[in-house]
Amino acid sequence: MDGAFYRQFAGLLLEELPDYSAAEIQGMLTGLTCIGVTEAQYDAWRPILTGEEGSSRDSKRLRDALSGLMALIEKSLKGQDFSFRPLLPPDSDTISDRTQALGDWCYGFGVGLHWSGTLDAEHLEPDAKDAIDDIAELAHVDPNSADADDEKALAELEEYLRVAIQLIFESTGLSETHIKSH
């Protein structure tokens, strides 16, 4: 997923879900994937994005895009090639816009991860639990404090997210005890 994909997906969202950024949506879908939710369960998780069931903001185009993106996320997290990447604006965007998108992504991830209330973080590996806490903290990043000297730090945070999400995904999938039964 590159800058062109980001722009295309952001354009679709502007038409269909203007209250969300592309980064925030992919973060939510990644959080949902980490707790075992799949694109096949679209009707269950769609209301967190579009509101009540039967919303007029529930087009086939949106459904296909969100379900397809979620399938790509799951495939990249399950793959052996560590290909998962947070969907963030291209490097040609301003650092403040990219920092805002990183914060949006982290916020969306938290929403998705805690959506069903079934994650039992206390039973995760300590590193995975710490990563969840770190991501929650990054959701509050101040994009106005970023300047051109922070390029390297932003790149390091993006790489940290890649590794942290893989760790969280693998940790939540290790045992049924990480997901509370209802």
Tens digits of per-residue pLDDT, 117-175? 888 878 899 999 999 999 999 999 988 887 777 888 899 999 999 999 999 999 987 43
Taking the model in full, what pTM does it have?
Answer: 0.89
Q: How confident is the model at residue 178 (pLDDT cuts 50, 70, 90)?
A: very low
The confidence score (pLDDT) of residue 143 equals 86
Sketch the domain layout of the chain as residue ranges.
3-178
The confidence score (pLDDT) of residue 119 equals 86
Q: Is the dihedral of CA 115, 116, 121, 127 positive or negative?
A: negative
Q: Do 52 and 20 contact (CB within 8 A), yes or no?
A: no
With a cut of 50, say whether residue 179 has pLDDT above it.
no
Q: Hey, what CATH topology would domain 3-178 get?
A: Four Helix Bundle (Hemerythrin (Met), subunit A) (1.20.120)
Mean pLDDT, residues 90-100: 92
In total, the chain counts a number of residues equal to 182
8 vs 98: CA distance, rounded Å: 16
Q: Do 167 and 131 contact (CB within 8 A), yes or no?
A: yes
Q: How confident is the model at residue 67 (pLDDT cuts 50, 70, 90)?
A: very high
Q: How confident is the model at residue 47 (pLDDT cuts 50, 70, 90)?
A: confident
Mean pLDDT over the full length of the chain: 86
- Find, among 129, 180, 135, 128, the residue nearest to 158 by Cα: 135
When computed from its CA atoms, the radius of gyration of the chain, rounded to whole angstroms, is 16
